[in-house]
Structures are given as structure tokens and as C-alpha cells.
């Protein structure tokens, strides 16, 4: 073979070997990569495949229930039947909705919303047409199912308040989450999820809300659900047992019906709130179902403010119910003794003004107990000047005025206890001694809520213990919190409580007509009538117009605070009737009836042991 051909063959063989070697390297790399992907990384890619195939969806937990002290339901979860439409399952959405509208009421607004949502979402996603169907409406839809392609009945839960308006300001209500309330918690972003907006529902929302569950579903490439693989129901919200007595709450609500008023009844030793009522009220069920614009406007436009919890957020001049605090400030400071006497002629002159007593012509000469009994304004003008506003303010704060009481309820306001520092900080002006006079009878800048007045009364009646009001019971097995002593002498408290006893049970007392005749239930109390307008000199000369002759919003507020039974105090009550006119004629009889009913309902009086409920087991919240 010629040398030239031999060289050509060698070159060919070398190139063949190089190509074969290159192919072998590439094949080895490919095999290595396949081994890496299919063996080494098999778990990772299996997980990614499952993540594309399996969708995890949050499930809202059942909300915790709310009970009264004896186990009556105040807030429950009820089945919510809703009709939904799946657009891909009907040849004509409009025709289906028209047929459905002949069976159950569907508003034009609902139809427009459904059509809008269908264009925004995929065709297989269910769209809610209407919530809260009655069983009759569900039956009509199910019977006519063959004529309603794409229509499905879905079952969920909705919040229900069996007492309705009676306990609305205590329970509060739940409603849809607003954009400002989103915190990043995915549970809050679930369609239809509701949170507490007021009352106990808001104050204990996190506990009542529970922990979300989840559902694993298999979906196709378009996101359509093929089947459910697993389900975890999550953790239901905690049930709450309140201190409230639902029966007493109903009684108080009935007693306040037709008035713009508030009343609070509590146990003076534990702080348990047995009734907390504001009138007029509103039905919280309307918020869970969705209020119409007209219904909302009626609520916010009502001058008697049915949405306001007057018991904790209504702020009123306490009037003569504040006089016990002035007495305590005088006695505890050592400025005066119970024997201090003042002659009331019906008015006193101070500077260039006259300050009048409620009794025209005056009370004559009185000592301290008589002044409380007859509520003599001139007596309290005198001692307030001797004591000074700062001492009065300090004593008021010790009894729970001028700051939130600490009740476990959202929306409480602080009221106002003025003093010299407050006046300087607020108005950049010095305190005037004439302002001390009006503060001494609970007028001027003084403001208090009905709850604060009830707490003040409880602390007077329980021997000067700083009891704090509460609405949620201490759980079984937990120790009662220790209650601090206010450091008020027993002698001073005895003067005040004896004066309150005389107010109701002495023939000369301002509330004698409202007394409880049963000695075992007898109450002690204090009337209050607070002005909402200034009475000018010309009106006094011509005769002050009677409350019933004035427009409603110019009439005096009527107040009364009381405790019972006198022999062994257990309960305190505060009643405020807005523009009621007279504490003795209007508020005192209401307080009397509430205290009488409270004592009548006391299990200990019936030979019981003060039975208190714990939350019963969940029956499914059907």
C-alpha cells in the first residue's frame, strides 16, 4: 500500500477515535445528568410535581360561642345555606338567574354583582348568588334543580345572636374584614371571613377566632379541583362564659324601653357585671347578614344613638351622685367633721354671681348626714371650697372616675375629673374658685360614664375595695385576683353609706318614694339631676321652666346610684336617663326595680349555691 494511502487511513482512524471519544464523553455527561435528576434529586422534583398538582387551601375554623353565667347562648354559629352559581355548567347564566329569581327573591343588585364576578373569575369558580336562605327556599331550589343548571346549594356558618338588641352592646357583632384590618394573616383574606367589630366579639376576637384548618385538593393544569385528598379542620375558637345574667339583662332592657338611657348592675365584691344595657339598641344580626344602606342611615341618623354603648361610652355630668366623693375628700383630709353645719337659704353669693340650691327657699341648717339625705347644694358649695378641687379630684380618681375602669370590653371612655393642672394644660388658664363650687355638685367639667358610677358605688359599699368590673368569668380553677384596698377609713365610709341609706329610707330623703319596702332587700342610694344648659338670671326671676316644658334635648339628665341589700351589701346599680328630668322621679324607680330583680334572681336567696355555668361541649353548632 502506498505510503500516502497509509497516512490517510491513520488520519481517519484518529479522527474516528476522537469523535467516538467525544460522543462517549457527551453520553456519559447525559447519563450522569439523568442519574442526578432522577435519582439524586428525585424527591425534590416529586415535591415540585405535587405542588403543581396539589393545592392547599385554608379552612376557617368555627368561631367560639359566647354564653351567659348560667349557660344561655348569647352568640352562636348557625348553618348558613347559600345558593351558588358555576358558570361553566350552564348554557346561559342570564336564563338560569331568571329562573332562579322566580323561586327565591333575588335583587337586581345581586344579579349585577354575579354577572360582574363571572367576568372576573374563571368559569368553574362558584359565585355566591344569595346568603342566608330559609329552609323553604332551599327546598324550592333543590326540587327544581333539573331546571337550574349550574346552581348548587352550599352550606357554611353564620353568626347569630339569640338575644338580638337586648345584649347587642355587650356581645358586639362580627362583620367582613376591611382593608385596613388586614394584618398579613391569610385567614383574614378568606372570602366571607368575619371578625369582631365591637363589644366582646372585638375584645376577645383572637381567642374566639381559633386556628385555621386546611384542605389538600388535587387540581388540573387550569386550577379546577379534581378531588379532595385530605382535610384538617383546624382548632375551633375558645368558648367564653360571661358574668352577664341574660334574664336580668332582658329585664333591664324592658325597663329602659322607650328611653334614651343606660344601666349597669354589678357584684360589689367580685366586679362581675350582671347587666349592662344601653337604650335604644340595635340588632347585631343585621350586621352579620349585611345591612342595607337605608338601614345603616337610620341607625347613624337616630339622635338617640342606638349604636353607642352609653353604659361605657356615654359621658354625663354626675350631678349629686358625686356628692359622696366630696364628703369623703372632706373627711379624709381632716378639713371637716360630720358635725360641720351649714345654713342653706336657697343660694349663696360668690364674687359677682349667685349659686343656687335645687330647693328654692333652702333647707335651713344642716349637718353632713342631713345634707346627703336632702342633697343640699349649698352645703356642698361650702365644703367644696374648704376642701379644694385638687383633693376632690384625687378622691374621685381613687373611686374609679376620670379614667377607664379596665372592663374587658372595647370602646370604653374615660370621663373627666378636672383639677387645676388639667385646666392649665387644656385651656392655658388658671382654675377659678367658682369652678370648684360647681364641681362640688358634679357639674361643670365633670363627666362620668354609667359604668364608672356603678364602680364608684360598689367601692363605697364594699368597704373601700378597688374592685374592677369584668364581663368574662375567671376560668374554673383559677384564683380570684386580689383586690387592693383604697385606704379609706371605715368611719368615713360609714358616714357616706348611712347618708345614702337615709336618702332612700328616711321620709325626708330625696328618693323616699322609690324605696324597697322589703327590709331584707332594702337599698341605699343617691339621686342626681344634672343640667345640660345654663339657667340665666332672667329665667330664674320669671320662673325656671319645668323639664316637661322644654325641648327634649334641653331637659336635665336623671341619675341614680344605689346598692343593696343595706344590711349586707352585694350589688350596685347605676342608672342614667338622658334628659329624663329628675333623678328621684325617673331614675330612682328604675334602679329600685333593677336591684329588686337582681336580688330576687340571686341563687343564694333561693337556697342555691350561686350556680355558674361553664361552656357546654360543642354539639356541632348546628
Angle, CA of 194, 195 and 196, to the nearest 5° = 135
Q: What is the pLDDT of residues 319-345, one digit of tens each?
A: 999 999 999 999 999 989 999 999 999
Could you give the percent of the chain with pLDDT greater than 90?
55
Q: What is the pTM of this model?
A: 0.82
The predicted model gives 416-420 an average pLDDT of 97
Could you give the percent of the chain with pLDDT greater than 70?
83
3-state secondary structure 444-492: CCCEECHHHHHHHHHHHHCCCECCCCECECCCCCCCCCCCCECCCCHHH
Cα separation, 570 vs 461, whole angstroms: 8
Cα separation, 499 vs 260, whole angstroms: 29
Cell numbers that stand for 574 in this block: 347605676
- Strand-pair partners of 572: 266, 563
The predicted model gives 311-316 an average pLDDT of 97
**228 Cβ partners below 8 Å, 6+ apart?**
215, 216, 217, 218
The predicted model gives 290-314 an average pLDDT of 89
240 in Cβ contact with 204 (< 8 Å): yes
Q: Tell me: pLDDT of 211 over 50.
A: yes
Q: Tell me: pLDDT of 608 over 50.
A: no
- Please name the residue that has the C-alpha cell 385567614: 187
Q: Buried b / exposed e across 496-531, counting CB within 10 Å, b at 16+? A: bbbbbbbbbbbeebbbbebbbeeeebbbbbbbbbbe
pLDDT band per the 50, 70, 90 thresholds, residue 288 = confident
Q: How many CB atoms lie within 10 A of CB 193?
A: 18
Q: Tell me: pLDDT of 566 over 90.
A: yes
* Average pLDDT in the chain: 86
The predicted model gives 145-168 an average pLDDT of 87
Residue 54 is predicted with a pLDDT of 61
**What sign does the dihedral 591-595-600-603 (CA atoms) show?**
positive
Maximum average pLDDT range among 100-104, 145-149, 453-457: 453-457
Concatenated DSSP letters for 295-334? HHHHHHT-TT-TTS-HHHH--B--GGGGHHHHHHHHHHHT
Distances (CA, A) of 338 to 244, 284, 507: 39, 50, 21
Q: Tell me: pLDDT of 622 over 50.
A: no
The predicted model gives 192-205 an average pLDDT of 89
The predicted model gives 449-471 an average pLDDT of 97
Q: Tell me: pLDDT of 600 over 80.
A: yes
173-177, 205-209, 399-403: least confidently modelled range: 173-177
The predicted model gives 434-438 an average pLDDT of 95
Consecutive H or E run containing 45: helix 42-53
The predicted model gives 98-127 an average pLDDT of 81
Q: Tell me: pLDDT of 155 over 80.
A: no
Q: Where are the beta strands (DSSP E) in 27-131?
A: 54-59, 66-67, 73-85, 127-130
Residue 29 is predicted with a pLDDT of 75
Cα separation, 333 vs 404, whole angstroms: 25
Domains of the chain: 78-160 (3.30.1390), 246-284+309-606 (3.40.710.10)
Cα separation, 500 vs 518, whole angstroms: 17
Cα separation, 550 vs 331, whole angstroms: 39
Cell numbers that stand for 100 in this block: 332562579
Tell which wins on pLDDT, 361 or 38.
361
pLDDT band per the 50, 70, 90 thresholds, residue 191 = low
Cα separation, 622 vs 617, whole angstroms: 13
Catalytic residues: 320
Consecutive H or E run containing 231: strand 225-232
Tell which wins on pLDDT, 507 or 59.
507
Residue 493 is predicted with a pLDDT of 97
Cα separation, 618 vs 600, whole angstroms: 31
Q: What is the pLDDT of residues 232-281, one digit of tens each?
A: 667 888 999 999 999 999 999 999 999 999 999 999 999 999 999 999 99
pLDDT band per the 50, 70, 90 thresholds, residue 58 = low
Q: Tell me: pLDDT of 425 over 70.
A: yes
Q: Tell me: pLDDT of 71 over 70.
A: yes
182-191, 212-221, 362-371, 589-598: least confidently modelled range: 212-221
**What sign does the dihedral 114-140-622-283 (CA atoms) show?**
positive
Q: What is the pLDDT of residues 77-90, one digit of tens each?
A: 988 888 888 888 88
Cα separation, 125 vs 262, whole angstroms: 49
Q: Is 420 exposed, middle or buried (0-12, 13-18, 19+ CB in 10 A)?
A: middle
324 in Cβ contact with 460 (< 8 Å): yes
Residue 541 is predicted with a pLDDT of 47
Cα separation, 9 vs 5, whole angstroms: 6
Residue 53 is predicted with a pLDDT of 56
Distances (CA, A) of 435 to 383, 390, 438, 440, 534: 13, 12, 5, 9, 14
Distances (CA, A) of 275 to 66, 430, 468, 558, 613: 15, 41, 15, 19, 16
Q: Tell me: pLDDT of 143 over 70.
A: yes
Residue 15 is predicted with a pLDDT of 74
Amino acid at each position: 500500500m502506498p505510503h500516502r494511502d497509509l497516512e490517510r487511513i491513520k488520519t481517519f482512524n484518529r479522527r474516528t477515535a476522537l469523535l467516538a471519544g467525544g460522543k462517549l464523553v457527551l453520553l456519559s455527561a447525559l447519563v450522569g445528568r439523568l442519574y442526578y435528576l432522577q435519582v439524586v434529586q428525585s424527591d425534590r422534583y416529586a415535591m415540585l410535581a405535587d405542588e403543581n398538582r396539589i393545592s392547599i387551601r385554608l379552612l376557617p375554623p368555627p368561631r367560639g360561642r359566647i354564653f351567659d353565667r348560667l349557660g344561655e347562648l348569647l352568640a352562636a354559629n348557625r348553618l348558613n345555606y347559600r345558593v351558588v352559581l358555576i358558570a361553566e355548567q350552564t348554557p346561559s347564566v342570564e336564563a338560569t338567574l331568571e329562573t332562579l329569581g322566580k323561586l327565591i327573591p333575588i335583587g337586581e343588585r345581586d344579579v349585577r354583582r354575579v354577572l360582574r364576578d363571572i367576568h372576573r373569575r374563571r368559569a368553574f369558580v362558584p359565585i355566591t348568588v344569595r346568603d342566608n336562605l330559609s329552609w323553604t327556599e332551599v327546598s324550592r331550589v333543590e326540587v327544581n334543580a333539573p331546571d337550574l343548571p349550574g346552581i348548587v346549594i352550599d352550606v357554611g356558618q353564620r353568626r347569630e345572636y339569640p338575644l338580638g338588641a337586648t345584649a347587642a352592646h355587650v356581645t358586639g357583632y362580627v362583620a367582613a374584614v376591611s382593608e385596613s384590618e388586614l394584618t398579613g394573616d391569610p385567614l383574614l383574606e378568606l372570602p366571607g371571613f368575619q371578625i369582631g367589630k365591637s363589644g366582646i366579639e372585638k375584645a376577645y376576637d383572637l381567642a374566639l377566632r381559633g386556628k385555621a384548618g386546611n384542605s389538600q385538593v388535587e387540581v388540573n393544569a387550569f386550577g379546577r379541583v379534581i378531588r379532595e385528598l385530605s382535610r384538617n379542620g383546624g382548632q375551633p375558637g375558645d368558648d367564653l362564659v360571661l358574668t352577664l345574667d341574660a334574664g336580668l339583662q332582658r329585664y333591664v332592657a324592658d325597663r329602659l324601653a322607650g328611653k334614651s338611657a343606660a344601666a349597669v348592675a354589678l357584684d360589689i365584691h367580685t366586679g362581675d357585671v350582671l347587666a349592662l344595657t344601653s337604650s335604644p339598641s340595635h340588632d347585631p344580626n343585621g350586621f352579620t347578614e349585611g345591612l342595607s344602606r337605608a338601614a345603616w342611615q337610620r341607625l347613624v341618623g337616630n339622635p338617640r344613638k342606638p349604636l353607642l354603648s352609653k353604659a361605657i361610652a356615654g359621658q354625663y355630668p354626675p350631678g349629686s351622685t358625686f356628692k359622696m366623693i366630696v364628703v369623703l375628700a372632706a373627711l379624709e383630709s381632716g378639713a371637716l367633721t360630720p358635725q360641720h353645719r351649714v345654713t342653706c337659704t336657697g343660694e349663696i353669693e360668690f364674687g359677682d354671681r349667685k349659686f343656687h340650691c335645687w330647693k328654692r327657699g333652702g333647707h335651713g341648717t344642716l349637718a353632713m348626714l342631713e345634707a346627703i339625705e336632702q342633697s343640699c347644694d349649698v352645703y356642698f358649695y361650702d365644703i367644696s371650697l374648704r376642701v379644694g378641687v385638687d383633693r376632690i379630684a384625687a378622691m374621685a380618681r381613687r373611686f374609679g372616675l376620670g379614667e377607664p375602669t379596665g372592663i374587658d370590653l372595647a370602646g370604653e371612655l374615660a370621663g373627666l375629673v378636672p383639677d387645676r393642672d388639667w385646666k392649665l394644660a387644656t385651656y392655658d388658664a388658671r382654675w377659678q374658685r367658682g369652678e370648684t363650687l360647681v364641681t362640688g355638685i358634679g357639674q361643670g367639667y365633670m363627666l362620668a360614664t354609667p359604668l364608672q358610677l356603678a364602680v364608684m358605688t360598689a367601692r363605697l359599699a364594699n368597704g373601700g375595695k378597688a374592685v374592677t368590673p369584668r364581663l368574662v368569668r375567671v376560668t374554673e380553677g383559677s384564683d380570684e385576683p386580689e383586690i387592693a384596698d383604697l385606704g379609706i377609713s371605715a368611719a368615713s365610709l360609714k358616714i357616706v353609706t348611712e347618708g345614702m341609706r337615709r336618702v332612700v329610707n328616711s321620709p325626708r330623703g330625696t328618693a323616699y318614694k322609690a324605696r324597697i319596702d322589703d327590709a331584707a332587700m332594702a337599698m341605699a342610694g343617691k339621686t342626681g339631676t344634672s343640667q345640660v344648659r345654663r339657667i340665666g338670671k332672667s329665667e330664674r326671676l320669671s320662673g325656671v321652666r319645668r323639664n316637661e316644658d322644654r325641648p327634649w334635648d334641653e331637659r336635665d339628665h336623671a341619675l341614680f346610684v344605689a346598692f343593696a341589700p343595706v344590711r349586707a351589701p352585694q350589688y350596685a346599680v347605676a342608672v342614667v336617663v338622658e334628659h329624663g328630668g329628675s333623678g328621684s322621679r325617673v331614675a330612682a324607680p328604675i334602679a329600685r326595680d333593677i336591684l329588686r330583680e337582681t336580688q330576687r334572681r340571686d341563687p343564694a336567696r333561693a337556697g342555691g349555691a350561686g350556680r355558674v355555668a361553664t361552656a357546654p361541649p360543642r354539639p356541632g353548632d348546628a
